Structure 1
Amino acid sequence: MIGIGAQTVDGAVEVLDLPTPRQPETGELLLETITAGIGPWDALLHITDGWDVELKPPAALGVEGVGRIIAIGAGVEGFNVGDVVVVHDTPLPGGSGFWAEQVLVHASSAALLPPGLSPEIAAALPVAALTASQSLKELQVGAGTRLLVVGSGPTAVMAIRLGVLASAEVVAAASPRHSDRLRKLGAVDLIDSHAENWAQSTSRRFDAVLIAADGVSEEAMKLIDDGGRLTSLTSDAPEPTRGITANNLYIVPDGADLERLAKLAAAGELSLDVATVTADQGPATEAIVATGGSRGVKYVINFGTPTESKRTAV
């Protein structure tokens, strides 16, 4: 089968001819992949000191996507052959990821694709939406929370929307060129986080800060009230001070929460700018995303009926 991944642990990303997965064991699903998301984290999946998702090269990359169930392991309830599901999964039970025509996943990581949500949009959601959801839970965001989200990529976008839906007062910190887009999501203000000593440019103070961009945690700490909270998605949480709780967060699969988030997307409450590419375009697109060239766009590989590359907003 066609896959996009690496021949060796630290090999180049390329189109591969891979064996089809084994049959699903207890608690597993075998999917025929329809669409698969590409994220900057995927570059870490095939290097020795990266994110260990138990790939067994040669293997496809990818930890999120949408697929049609073609086989079900023992003990799985709530799913039937032919169902279309959206998934974020790690570790990958088959040793190979979503950037392939078939993939094995844990049923507990899957959610039924809700009516009205396209596979392209759904494949873009799992990692960004789950990370944002788990981050806001860690930050105890609720009604009236003064929340700062630093970043402008898909995870930051999801966090802004989920914060707004939780009735928090959300401010974004990003380049001014993203101002209109982030305000449309519900951010009440934008701070230019690309300016030198940017924390000194505002009188705002926050209960909670989510870091979704590199190299900004130390500066962001200056904007948190004593006893506040900071969560970093870039593994650079500062040492706690002034009673501020600071921690790094790493996503975990959660099929139940993914179902909730997918339904929000189907209802138009979550939005992403999505571009679809073909399998042949996968390696080049992965390189763009890995080097930060996606400019806020979430790329998705289409393994279904070939379509012309397009952009879609939820």
Structure 2
Amino acid sequence: MKAAVLHEFDEKLTAKEFVKFEDVTDPKISRPMDVIVRIGGAGVCRTDLHIVEGIWRSKVDVKLPYIMGHENAGWVEAIGPGVEGVKVGDSVICHPLVTSGHCLACRRGNDMHALDSAFPGINANGGYAQYLLTGQRSLIKLPKSLAPKDVAPYTDAGLTAYRAAKKASRHLLPGEYVAVIGAGGLGHIGIQVLAALCAAEIVVIDRADQSLELAKKCGAHHVVKADGNEVEAVLGLTGGRGAEAVIDFVGEGDAIAKGLSITANGGYYYIVGYGGKIDIPTIDMITSEKTIVGNLVGTYAELVELMALADRGLVELHTKEYRLSQANDALHDLHHGRIHGRAVLIP
């Protein structure tokens, strides 16, 4: 099969080619619950750029060369002898974790914390290819209204944004505020989820005018340009108290400090983007009673819930399509801020 393969890390992201488009061995079924999916769409994520940079080397044991791509959807191509519930030809979206289902975290539904798991595109070969090896427990059959190429990024970007927005929606009340930092690939999904699940006023902060326009279309009630005065702008909107919830889809640069500064006392700061560090004096944590919440992907059930919103038209992905052979173009466009929404590779 054809695949876009990562052969070496590039810490400064200066190479003309991050991956090579080449022939590789087809995946094979070796266990009863294995499933091979013919890829209909593979999302291109900023995490992929972090993988190219080598940031994930301290977290996972990956030997190069390998295939990135952890946001995948397509059609069932082959199944192991123990597989039930899906058949060859079914259109499916893949939860990003492949797990056995036996450990306590799995039994509680928290597959992202499973003791024994594979994460295609992170610690195993992923979907920047024509075919993907996954498992039955990871598959959700798609309704006829949703095509694989249109929903693939929901499996990480959408699911992570949904998980954070769902957490926030559970305590946000009418008359309160939620601030979203970053209206890009994850942020534009999170805005729509917030609009669908809660009645708080949604304030979106971004530095790009195009992203702010997208935020308005996605349901933002207020948009604020990140021009150095965004903290004052948000505090002005909220009567000086700040937002009861802040969801930070950037997580680097000055976004963290500003995000915490606009979180109201007793409020919640949800960190989704990464690359930076949280540095806050303990006395400030005590006196403000702010809560900092990390967010890692989401559960299988949450991906089912997100597909239900998408099926009803309450959440819509804004995507830019590339051929699999154009993976380097997609990665460079993402790196240089030329994608507003999500990029999808199509074999």
TM-score by length of 2: 0.78
Q: Are 2:184 and 1:184 equivalent residues in the alignment? A: no
Check whether the contact 1:3–1:15 (CA below 8 A) recurs between aligned residues.
Answer: yes
1:176 CA drift (Å) = 6.3
Report what 1:212 is aligned to: 249
What corresponds to 1:226 in structure 2?
265
State the partner residue of 1:293. 337
Q: Report the counterpart of residue 92 of structure 1 in structure 2.
A: 119
Counterpart selection for 1:158 from 180, 184, 189: 189
Distance 1:219 1:4 in 2: 38
Is 1:171 aligned to residue 215 of structure 2?
Answer: no
Aligned counterparts of 1:54 and 1:74: Cα–Cα separation in 2:
30
What residue number does 1:250 align with? Answer: 296
State the one-letter code of the partner of 2:289. G
Q: Return closer, same or farther for 1:267/1:292 CA change in 2, 3 Å cut-off.
A: farther
Partner of 1:41: 47
- In the alignment, what sits opposite 2:112? none
Q: Which amino acid aligns with 1:160?
A: I
Structure 2 distance, partners of 1:230, 1:26, is 42
With over 3 angstroms needed to count, the CA separation of the structure-2 counterparts of 1:243 and 1:268, relative to structure 1, is same
After TM superposition, the structure 1 = structure 2 runs for residues 97-136 of structure 1, keeping only pairs within 5 Å, are 97-136=126-165
Deviations 1:180-211 (A, max 9, x none): 3212211111122x222421124212111000
Aligned mates of 2:39, 2:327 — CA distance in 1: 14
Deviation at 1:245, TM superposition (A): 0.7
Structure 1 residue 71: deviation in Å? 2.1
- Root mean square deviation, CA, Å: 2.4
**1:60 pairs with one of 62, 67, 72:** 67
Q: How high is the sequence identity, in percent, across the aligned residues?
A: 22
- Confirm or deny that 1:147 pairs with 2:143: no
TM-superposition CA deviations, 1:143-201 (whole Å, max 9, x none): 53521111011211111111111123211112361333212211111122x22242112
Worse-superposed segment, 92-101 or 7-16: 7-16
> Which of the numbers 8, 26, 29 marks the counterpart of 1:23?
29
1:137 Cα deviation after fit: 3.6
SS of the residue corresponding to residue 5 of structure 1 reads: strand
Alignment CA distance shift 1:134-1:297 (3 Å): closer
Native 8 Å contact 1:142 1:166 kept in 2:
no
Unmatched 5+ stretches in structure 1: 304-314
Residues 1:275 and 1:48: Cα distance change in structure 2 (over 3 Å): closer
- How far is the alpha carbon of 1:238 from its aligned partner? 4.5
2:72 matched to 1:72? Answer: no
Q: Classify 1:75/1:226 alpha carbon distance in 2 versus 1 (closer, same or farther; 3 Å).
A: farther
8 Å contact 2:181–2:187 — kept in the other structure? yes
Kept after mapping to 1: 8 A contact 2:188/2:341? no
Paired residue secondary structure (1:260): helix
| 1:275–1:297 contact (8 Å) kept in structure 2 | yes
Q: Counterparts of 1:259 and 1:294 in 2: how far apart (Å)?
A: 30
- Sort the Cα spacing of 1:30 and 1:191 in 2 relative to 1 into closer, same or farther, 3 A: same
Aligned 8 A contact 1:230 1:237 in 2: no
| Deviation readout 1:10-51 (Å, 9 max, x if unpaired) | 694111211111215243321111211111111233554317
**Structure with more helix by fraction:** 2
Match of 2:103 in 1: none
- Secondary structure of the structure 2 residue equivalent to 1:199: helix
SS of corresponding position for 1:131: helix
**8 Å CA contact 1:56, 1:95 repeated in 2:** no
The CA deviation at 1:2 is: 0.3
Q: Which amino acid aligns with 2:330?
A: T
Return 210-219 or 232-241, whichever deviates more: 232-241
C-alpha distance 110-159 of structure 1, shift in aligned 2 (>3 A): same
Q: Is the 8 A contact 2:162 2:193 kept in 1?
A: yes
1:112-133 Cα distance to aligned partner (Å, 9 max, x none): 1111112221113221210112
- The corresponding residue for 1:3 is 3
Paired AA for residue 296 in structure 2: Y
In the alignment, what sits opposite 2:107?
none
Indicate the SS of the match to 2:21.
strand
